[in-house]
């Protein structure tokens, strides 16, 4: 039993103008898009809508289902709920009063706008990241990160984490299957033991998985050293960006910077 592939994995080898772009260009534009969304002030709906339009146009150009990307991006919304306190902490026109014992929480219009902005920005930022992962092989992303001078140690950690995460999951699933095969269920009796017993079994399984992972990592590292590994990811081909790619990077970054600048000019500065 292995991990089921993501619904976006089937697009990784498709042919489109977005897929054909260099990974360095796509990575920089993705980071620029996320940064531009983060710099927009709360309630800058025109700027947010403009960036969303550009992002969705890129998704369509990549021939990826726009609805699929939108649905997958909702995974970020539960984490964005942390910003719910903005509704009650931002000064503004009171909209709702919520008594909580001796305290009274007051929801304001400015707080609601700030919270809604965080939700929408988070949702769009995840869509940008999904577009990158759906059109770029992870190894190409790693080489792009190294080309952008990310420390080699961090790139190596990301590479090993991605490569062996599935191996560890398969190992854990085999241990679970072995536990089920050894757990007899008698008719008329409740299977398993107490909560303490179950916690003990789970703790032992986690400890065993850690030891197996540690031993496997030692064997892998020795094997890599014997093959000349020096801590650096190596690629057979290193090419400079073409003029078209450089122009696209300049134009895309310029458009995003202009959206942020015009938003602040029209709004009279940050709020």
**Per-residue confidence of the chain (271 residues) as pLDDT tens digits?**
344 446 667 777 788 888 888 889 999 999 999 999 999 998 899 999 999 999 999 999 998 888 889 888 888 788 877 787 777 777 877 777 777 767 777 778 888 888 889 999 999 999 999 999 899 988 888 888 888 888 888 888 888 887 787 778 888 888 878 777 776 666 666 666 667 777 787 888 888 888 888 888 888 888 888 888 776 666 655 678 888 888 999 999 999 999 999 998 887 555 5
| Token couple for 161 | 């984490």
| Pair 116, 218 in one domain | no
| Pair 111, 214 in one domain | no
Tokens 């078209």: give the residue. 244
d(CA 175, CA 15): 40
Beta bridge partners of 97: 106
| Pair 170, 103 in one domain | no
| Pair 178, 246 in one domain | no
The answer to whether residue 80 is domain-embedded is: yes
| Pair 24, 98 in one domain | yes
| Pair 93, 158 in one domain | no
Contacts with 171 (C-beta within 8 Å, 6 or more apart), sequence order = 209, 212, 213
| Pair 18, 129 in one domain | yes
The answer to whether residue 1 is domain-embedded is: no
d(CA 121, CA 80): 9
Q: Count how many domains the chain has.
A: 2
89 and 71 in contact (C-beta within 8 Å)? no
Return the axis-axis angle of helices 138-147 and 152-181, rounded to nearest 10°: 150
Classify each residue of 102-140 as buried b or exposed e, where b means 16 or more C-beta atoms within 10 Å of its C-beta.
eeeeebbebbbbbbbbbbbbbbbbbbbbbbbbbbbeeeb
| Pair 134, 95 in one domain | yes
- Give the domain extent around 54: 9-149+242-267
């Amino acid at each position: 039993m292995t991990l089921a592939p993501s619904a976006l994995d089937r697009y990784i080898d498709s042919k489109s103008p977005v897929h054909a772009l260099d990974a360095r260009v796509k990575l920089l534009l993705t980071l620029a898009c996320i940064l531009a969304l983060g710099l927009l002030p709360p309630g800058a709906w025109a700027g947010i809508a403009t960036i969303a339009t550009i992002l969705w146009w890129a998704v369509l150009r990549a021939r990826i289902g726009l609805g699929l990307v939108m649905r997958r991006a909702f995974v970020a919304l539960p984490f964005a709920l942390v910003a719910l306190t903005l509704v009650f902490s931002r000064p503004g026109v009171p909209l709702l009063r919520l008594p909580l014992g001796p305290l009274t929480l007051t929801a304001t219009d400015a707080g609601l706008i700030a919270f809604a902005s965080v939700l929408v920005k988070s949702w769009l930022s995840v869509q940008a990241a999904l577009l990158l992962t759906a059109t770029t092989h992870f190894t190409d992303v790693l080489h792009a990160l190294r080309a952008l001078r990310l420390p080699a140690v961090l790139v190596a950690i990301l590479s090993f984490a991605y490569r062996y995460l599935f191996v560890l999951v398969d190992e854990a699933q085999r241990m679970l299957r072995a536990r089920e095969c050894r757990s007899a269920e008698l008719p008329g009796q409740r299977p398993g033991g107490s909560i303490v017993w179950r916690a003990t079994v789970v703790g032992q399984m986690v400890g065993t998985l850690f030891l197996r992972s540690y031993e496997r990592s030692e064997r892998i590292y020795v094997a890599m050293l014997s093959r000349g590994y020096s801590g650096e990811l190596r690629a057979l081909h290193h090419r400079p960006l073409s003029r078209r790619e450089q122009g696209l990077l300049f134009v895309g970054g310029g458009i995003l910077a202009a959206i942020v600048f015009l938003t602040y000019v029209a709004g009279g500065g940050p709020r």
